[in-house]
Amino acid sequence: MTPPVDTRELALHGDHIVRVRPLRATDRAIYERAVMNLSPRSRYLRFFAPIPRLGERLLDQMTQTDGHRHVAHVALTLDESSAVGVVRYVLSTHDPKAGEIAIAIADDWQRRGLGGQLLRQTVEHAQLAGLESLTATTLRENVGAAGLLHASGFSEVEASGPYAQHCMRLGR
């Protein structure tokens, strides 16, 4: 079966290949399983709190994207049975030319180049959509995410309490 045009395959370190496509509302069970398969530490770093389970409202928020104000892509195993990464941006309610980006990579799939490739793809999407900036908020203790963001062109612009904010200005 030929993947749709909005689907692409990415080659990762270690000869691994994933399929990346827009996240769909029908991916709800796959998304929930992927989040719950994250280590407790990774869930904490992604959601800024211990998350023992995902509530219905949060699952709705995370899986009901519109491709414009809320854009999300999922990296899946080639048989599309498991999600190994999700990247998204949501437009700012105050500035339609700015978005907040977030990413999560399955513990076993980290350090294979997936995060960097997903961020690059999402930055390109945001640029084509006319955004002028992307920001990411991380916990300051999340040195892995800070390193990934820095390597992808984001600069830390603010740190307050346990949080750090990273920003990328998008060229046209």
Model pLDDT, residue 156: 94
Boundaries of every domain in the chain: 8-169
Rounded to whole angstroms, the Cα distance separating 100 from 138 reads: 11
Q: Is the CB of residue 117 less than 8 Å from the CB of residue 87?
A: no
* Superfamily holding 8-169: Gcn5-related N-acetyltransferase (GNAT) (3.40.630.30)
CA distances, 62 to each of 10, 50, 171 (Å) = 23, 17, 28
pLDDT above 90: residue 99: yes
Task: State pLDDT tens for residues 6-63.
Answer: 888 988 988 899 999 999 999 999 999 999 999 999 999 999 999 999 999 999 999 9
Model pLDDT, residue 11: 87
| pTM given for the model | 0.91
C-alpha torsion angle, residues 23, 25, 68, 71 (rounded to 10):
-30
Residue 116 backbone dihedrals phi, psi, to 5 degrees: -65, -40
Strands (E), 24-154: 70-76, 83-91, 98-105, 133-139
